[in-house]
């Protein structure tokens, strides 16, 4: 009998490799180029320049893959299938034989017929496909859902649950569940507590799993209690937060719980029991799930970090409003969208009145606090998700209002005026007004090929300039960039409240109003 070898999974490209024969066996094989099995089935010798000779029954060659490497793997598998029925499939020695928790499956049964070997090979292939499916997603919810479905399909389980350990409550709560029969979904959810199953949970965590079956010769009280709550033939396999080698695993339950993520719980019908091969498959899935969750968590952390970096790159460090870059991007996006929809786009430019005088009187730290409070007041005006308030530069702010005509933009401007007046931020003693005020310019246009977004900004800036020329603390609407209807009473109200709208003029005539 050849010694068992442990192969790392899931990175081993070939499931099994043939260990070298010793010198005596090799000499014997060379002297018997044609030998017979105990069943008088003739053997044929396969030779390879890199490995030893392998005898394969001629009658079985039709059942084996065509390539010589596959034939060698099949014979190696036959030697690796040492009987596990007499020993416990759990515990440190069993985990080491299977490479748990850092390796995949090696031993899955006894040396049997070629048909059984082919069945084991097929199971290995299906298992590797399950592991690839787990690695195929970076979303933790998808990974958990894939685990329960694929495990039930591969092992024929009627119920599969992933139980996450809750340290505060000292219990295991289901986070994903699969039932082959809809009636099983009405059964009580599997949610064991440490206080109710102390010995069972200790066995699962320290020995690598536990099998609960009514057919056991001497079932413990905890086993009977479990089966009374959740009928079936259960297999419990621990899942680590990250795969560790046997040497790094903690020997105590308390220390192991720090490394413990949860349990993979699988149930067969009560009349069935778990084979060593199925237990090995479940343990391999648990190992791969640890890798997949670790990979998904790292991706989610990276995604959140990138989102935070993007937020910092597109927001003003002082006021936390959108910065100039974000303003330009949003204006361009909304311009293109509204050009397709033929809907109005309004822009409000705001400027704090005599803010330099404020800074000279109270100092720049007080000026920063004033900007922060004004920024919060500006946010009280726009209410829709597509609206954007940005710090345009210095003491200037901008408000982008998609799908908003001039009447709507004017009402929002008046609301901003009122919010800033309620702040009652004291201004310098020599200022015309006792409190901080703002002046605003409004421009509205229906985007199209004949105009540009930069033209809208220039129009709002022109309206702001004329509002300052007329005494500040007021709102001006641009005479050309607006959607006002002179015959509409509401439009007349806007013109009356905002004094007189300004007209877009060349730079040399910028100070002239209509």
290 plus 406 within the same structural domain: no
How much is the pLDDT for 511?
31
Q: Look at residue 23 and tell me if it is in a domain.
A: no
- Structure token digits, residue 53: 């000779």
The answer to whether 377 and 435 have CB atoms below 8 angstroms apart is: no
| pLDDT digit string, tens, across residues 254-301 | 666 778 899 999 999 988 989 888 999 999 999 999 999 999 989 999
CA-CA distance, 275 to 128, in Å (whole number)?
A: 19
SS3 labels along 388-429: EEEEEECCEEEEEEECCCHHHHHHHHHHHHHHHHHHCCECCC
Q: What is the DSSP string of 100-127?
A: TTTS-----S-S--HHHHHHHHHHHHHH
267 plus 401 within the same structural domain: no
Distance of CA 430 to the CA centre of its chain: 57
333 plus 436 within the same structural domain: yes
Mean pLDDT of 311-331: 93
> Model confidence at 127, in pLDDT bands (50, 70, 90)?
confident
Q: How far apart are the first and last CA of the chain?
A: 105
Give the residue from 252, 268, 300 where a domain finishes: 300
CA-CA distance, 191 to 405, in Å (whole number)?
A: 58
SS3 labels along 166-201: ECCCCEEEEEEEEECCHHHHHCCCCCCECCCCHHHH
Q: Where are the alpha helices (DSSP H) in 67-113?
A: 68-80, 92-98
How much is the pLDDT for 174?
92
Q: Look at residue 129 and tell me if it is in a domain.
A: no
CA-CA distance, 475 to 416, in Å (whole number)?
A: 10
The CA distances from residue 169 to 192, 212, 347, in Å, are 11, 24, 54
Number of domains in the chain: 2
Query: Is the pLDDT reported for residue 381 higher than 50?
Result: yes
215 plus 330 within the same structural domain: no
**Beta bridge partners of residue 262, listed in sequence order:** 164, 239
Mean pLDDT of 344-368: 95
Range in 92-96, 357-361, 404-408, 503-507 with the lowest mean pLDDT: 503-507
Q: What is the DSSP string of 277-306?
A: HHHHHHHHHHHHHHHHHHHHHHHHHHHHHH
- How many beta carbons lie within 10 A of that of residue 343, not counting itself? 15
Closest CA to 241 of 290, 198, 192: 290
Query: Is the pLDDT reported for residue 42 higher than 70?
Result: no
What average pLDDT does the chain have? 76
Residue found by looking up tokens 């080698």 in the block: 245
Q: Where are the alpha helices (DSSP H) in 441-483?
A: 453-469
Query: Is the pLDDT reported for residue 9 higher than 50?
Result: no
279 plus 379 within the same structural domain: no
What CATH number did the domain enclosing 393 receive?
3.30.70.270
Mark residue 140 as left, alpha or beta (left: phi above 0; alpha: psi -120 to 50; beta: remaining): alpha
CA-CA distance, 31 to 49, in Å (whole number)?
A: 18
292 plus 370 within the same structural domain: no
Give the residue from 300, 333, 366 where a domain finishes: 300
What CATH number did the domain enclosing 198 receive?
3.30.450.40
The answer to whether 448 and 339 have CB atoms below 8 angstroms apart is: yes
> Model confidence at 184, in pLDDT bands (50, 70, 90)?
confident
- Structure token digits, residue 285: 């899935």
- Structure token digits, residue 207: 């020995």
Q: Look at residue 164 and tell me if it is in a domain.
A: yes
- Structure token digits, residue 232: 């079936």
CA-CA distance, 464 to 468, in Å (whole number)?
A: 6
Q: Which residues lie below 8 Å from residue 117, measured CB to CB, with a gap of 6+?
A: 74, 77, 78, 81
Question: The domain containing residue 500 runs over which residues?
Answer: 324-509
Q: Look at residue 407 and tell me if it is in a domain.
A: yes
Q: Look at residue 312 and tell me if it is in a domain.
A: no
268 plus 330 within the same structural domain: no
CA-CA distance, 503 to 514, in Å (whole number)?
A: 6
Closest CA to 408 of 328, 343, 335: 343
467 plus 435 within the same structural domain: yes
Distance of CA 285 to the CA centre of its chain: 20
Q: Look at residue 53 and tell me if it is in a domain.
A: no
Query: Is the pLDDT reported for residue 80 higher than 70?
Result: no
How much is the pLDDT for 117?
81
260 plus 387 within the same structural domain: no
229 plus 355 within the same structural domain: no
3-state secondary structure of 218: coil
Q: What percentage of the chain carries pLDDT values higher than 70?
A: 70
149 plus 296 within the same structural domain: yes
292 plus 389 within the same structural domain: no
How much is the pLDDT for 176?
92
How much is the pLDDT for 357?
94
| pLDDT digit string, tens, across residues 418-430 | 999 999 999 999 8
| H/E run at residue 332 | helix 324-341
CA-CA distance, 485 to 389, in Å (whole number)?
A: 27
The answer to whether 291 and 147 have CB atoms below 8 angstroms apart is: no
CA-CA distance, 168 to 344, in Å (whole number)?
A: 55
| H/E run at residue 345 | strand 345-352
Q: Which residues lie below 8 Å from residue 84, measured CB to CB, with a gap of 6+?
A: 94, 107, 109, 276
| H/E run at residue 202 | helix 198-207
How much is the pLDDT for 501?
41
Q: Look at residue 2 and tell me if it is in a domain.
A: no
The CA distances from residue 440 to 191, 214, 268, 443, 498, in Å, are 61, 80, 72, 10, 10
- Residues belonging to the chain: 514
Q: Look at residue 41 and tell me if it is in a domain.
A: no
């Amino acid at each position: 009998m050849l010694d068992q070898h442990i192969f790392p999974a899931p990175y081993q490209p070939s499931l099994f490799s043939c260990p070298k024969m010793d010198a005596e066996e090799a000499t014997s094989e060379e002297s018997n180029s044609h030998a017979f099995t105990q069943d008088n089935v003739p053997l044929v010798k396969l030779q390879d320049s890199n490995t030893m000779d392998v005898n394969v029954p001629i009658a079985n060659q039709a059942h084996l893959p065509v390539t010589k490497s596959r034939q060698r793997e099949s014979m190696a598998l036959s030697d690796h299938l040492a009987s596990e029925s007499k020993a416990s499939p759990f515990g440190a020695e069993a985990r080491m034989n299977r490479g748990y928790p850092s390796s995949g499956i090696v031993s899955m049964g006894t040396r049997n017929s070629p048909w059984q070997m082919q069945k084991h090979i097929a199971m290995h292939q299906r298992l590797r496909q399950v592991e690839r499916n787990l690695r195929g997603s970076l979303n933790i919810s998808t990974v958990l859902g894939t685990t329960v479905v694929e495990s039930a399909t591969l092992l024929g389980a009627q119920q599969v649950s992933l139980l996450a350990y809750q340290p505060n409550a000292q219990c295991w709560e289901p986070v994903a569940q699969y039932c082959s029969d809809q009636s099983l979904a009405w059964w009580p959810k599997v949610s064991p507590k440490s206080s109710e199953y102390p010995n069972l949970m200790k066995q699962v965590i320290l020995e690598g799993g536990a099998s609960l079956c009514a057919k056991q010769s001497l079932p413990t009280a905890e086993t009977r209690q479990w089966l009374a709550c959740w009928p079936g033939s259960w297999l419990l396999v621990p899942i680590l937060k990250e795969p560790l080698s046997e040497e790094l695993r903690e020997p105590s339950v308390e220390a192991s719980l720090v490394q413990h993520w949860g349990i993979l719980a699988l149930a067969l019908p009560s009349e069935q029991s778990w084979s060593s091969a199925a237990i090995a498959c479940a343990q391999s899935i648990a190992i791969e799930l640890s890798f997949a969750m670790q990979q998904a968590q790292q991706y989610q952390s990276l995604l959140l970090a990138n989102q935070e970096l993007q937020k910092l790159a597109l927001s003003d460090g002082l006021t936390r409003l959108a910065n100039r870059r974000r303003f330009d991007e949003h204006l361009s996006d909304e311009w293109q969208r509204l050009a397709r929809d033929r809907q109005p786009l309004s822009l409000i430019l705001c400027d704090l009145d005599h803010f330099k005088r404020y800074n000279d009187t109270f100092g720049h730290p007080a000026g920063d606090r004033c900007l922060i409070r004004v920024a919060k007041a500006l946010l009280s005006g726009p209410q829709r998700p597509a609206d954007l308030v940005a710090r345009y530069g210095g003491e200037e702010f901008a408000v982008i209002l998609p799908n908003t005509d001039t009447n709507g933009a004017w009402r929002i401007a008046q609301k901003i005026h009122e919010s800033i007046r309620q702040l009652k931020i004291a201004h310098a003693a020599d200022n015309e007004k006792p409190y901080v005020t703002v002046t605003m310019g409004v421009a509205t246009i229906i985007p199209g090929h004949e105009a540009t977004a930069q033209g809208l900004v220039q129009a709002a800036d022109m309206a702001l300039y004329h509002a300052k020329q007329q005494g500040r603390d007021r709102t001006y609407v641009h005479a050309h960039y607006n959607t006002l209807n002179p015959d509409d009473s509401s439009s007349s109200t806007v013109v009356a409240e905002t004094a007189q709208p300004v007209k877009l003029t060349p730079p040399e005539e910028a100070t002239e109003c209509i």
